[in-house]
Chain A
């Protein structure tokens, strides 16, 4: 208690209340300024998620590589060598690994985000802070795993002799887009999950289906031309194909990618508002 300011006498009280508590109006703002003022808490929660995950596991960070690597090997054998899935001339390992890297990151971020509020019930019932921080931290904490697993991708690209092109610059914006999409779904589903615990069970199943309708184990070029638009309705199609095109020096499908970006922005805005509307009941429902 050394640095106690003596600003407690009434003449030094602020004229306007620092906090006003009353029933929220129907329309709630996003209150981004308040969110910004809690950025340190966001950092600490991300840090906690990462630390705990690496401490609780024997292999720690290597799991980030093992999961997509082993899946890649299995896929290369079954879908590549046996089923001979066409890959637009890209070697199987690097083709599958790219798709799996993006998908593993996205699906883990989404699932962790959706389960985050329920998993942090003790915080929600005991302390106030903008609740949006919880799903955001859960989604963002997957970035480290993604970065580690990306190192192996870099190795594969070098091994197979892919040239470094200016299209590599698309890598970071694409990561940001995948993150924003996971955030959009994660925020919305986490709020829904507080009310309906069905979300948890439905999600693991839906994510699996979603992977099969996304171009992870096949390129979208195997889909007949007249059905391609249906494929592109899935926002992950544009993102995954975007990653592949930018890394394998192929032309980027801008319309599909543009659609994914627009979908993400709309979803993120909707989710954030829906979340803010639901968040006042979290402490009572959870």
Chain B
């Protein structure tokens, strides 16, 4: 069996602000000009030593995911989980390494991306669907299902800014749940709605996996990991700490103790 996701030595470097420099976000031309003059001087002073203001958010991450597998990604805050998903979603570019995806990808880094408060529920379903990569025909096909799943039938032509926050996230999740790619990259979106809607979401995730979809799931909610995933990756300071059976990955994370896994 061949993997559907193949990640080899994927690395991502970010620039951070060292303490001896004012916080510059390259926001204005003036700062950039000042920076252009200063940085060669500074480089000369630090004897050309590069990398003192850079960190590796991901370093040589390699793993493979088989078709139909649900792979969890766990780790403390700042371990690189979200960076990994962003790189695999092509939102940010890796500094080094390579990843190959053998299928159509959809990423769900948050629910309701592209929702506009002034548009109605109906309009937002189309807009959000298009943003997430659905064709108009697909959205039309699933429209009634989405509305029913979100339980917002009565308010479908109301502007979403008039929705309660629960209705809003239900609608947003409902659109996302009807995406139909081979590979789904998911970040923390299960944590929406009240308890009964969360159960519904988990049920939907289960159903999705039954259909043989491949899912890479980032979550802090450790209790869902053994329920949904066969295997998991434990990330630690941008590197793969462990990759294997979900329960072992969890144990690894908990015993590593470099974060607070208590929020599960």
Interface assignment of B89: CB less than 8 Å from any CB of chain A: yes
Q: Which of A12-20, A67-75, A181-189, A248-256 is found at the contact surface with chain B?
A: A12-20
Interchain CA distance A24-B87 in the complex, whole Å: 13
Please tell me if the beta carbons of B180 and A126 are within 8 angstroms of each other in the complex: no
Per-position binary interface string of chain A over residues 41-56, scored 1 when its CB falls under 8 Å from any chain B CB and 0 otherwise: 1011101100110011
A127 & B109 in contact (Cβ 8 Å cutoff):
yes
Q: Quick one: closest B residue to A41, CB to CB?
A: B130
Please list the residues of chain B having a beta carbon within 8 angstroms of any beta carbon in chain A.
Answer: 1-2, 4, 6, 10, 14, 26-30, 32, 66-68, 86-105, 107, 109-110, 113-114, 116, 118-119, 123, 126-127, 130-133, 135-136, 141, 159, 178, 180, 182, 207-208, 211-214
Q: Are A6 and B212 in contact (CB under 8 A)?
A: yes
Known: A9-B68, A283-B91. A196 touches B32 (CB 8 A): yes
Instruction: Considering the complex, give the chain B residue whose CB is closest to the CB of A7.
Output: B182
Residues of A within 8 A of B133 (CB): 127, 129
Distance of A20 Cα from B114 Cα, bound (Å)? 26
Decide: B98 and A51 in contact? CB cutoff 8 A: no
Q: Least Cβ distance of B199 to chain A in Å?
A: 17
The residues in A between 1 and 60 inclusive whose CB is less than 8 angstroms from any CB of B are 1, 3-4, 6-10, 13-14, 17-24, 40-41, 43-45, 47-48, 51-52, 55-56
| A84 contacts chain B at the CB level, 8 A cutoff | no
Across the interface, do B211 and A4 meet the contact criterion of CB distance under 8 Å? yes
List, in ascending order, chain A residues with CB within 8 A of B136's CB: 40
Question: B110 contacts A10, CB within 8 Å?
Answer: no
The range of chain A's interface size is 35 or more
A225 at the interface (CB under 8 A from B): no
**B-contacting residues, A79-128, CB 8 Å:** 122-128
Question: In the complex, A9→B66 CA distance in Å?
Answer: 9
Cβ of A285 under 8 Å from chain B: yes
Q: Is the interface of B mostly helix, strand, loop or mixed?
A: loop
Pairwise interchain contact A18-B89, C-beta atoms closer than 8 A: no
B-chain residues with CB within 8 Å of residue A23 when the two chains form the complex: 93-96
> A126 to B27, Cβ gap below 8 A?
no
In the assembled complex, which residues on chain B have CB atoms less than 8 Å from the CB atom of A24? 93
Cα of A52 to Cα of B105 in the assembled complex, Å: 29
Extra inter-chain contacts (11) besides given A3-B141, A21-B101, CB under 8 Å: A10-B2, A13-B2, A13-B4, A17-B6, A18-B102, A18-B104, A45-B130, A128-B91, A196-B26, A198-B29, A280-B92
**Residues of chain B lying within 8 A (CB to CB) of residue A18:** 101-105
What CA separation (Å) do A125 and B72 show in the bound complex?
22
B212 touching A8 by the CB < 8 A rule?
Answer: yes
Contact B211 A123 (CB under 8 A): no
Q: Are B114 and A127 in contact (CB under 8 A)?
A: yes
Residues of A within 8 A of B96 (CB): 23
Q: Which residue of B lies closest to A13 (CB)?
A: B102
- A186 to B: closest C-beta gap in Å: 19
Chain A residues with CB below 8 A from B213, complex form: 4, 8
Give the distance to chain A from B124, nearest Cβ to Cβ, in Å: 9
Complex partner residue of B107 from A4, A45, A127, A285, CB under 8 angstroms: A127
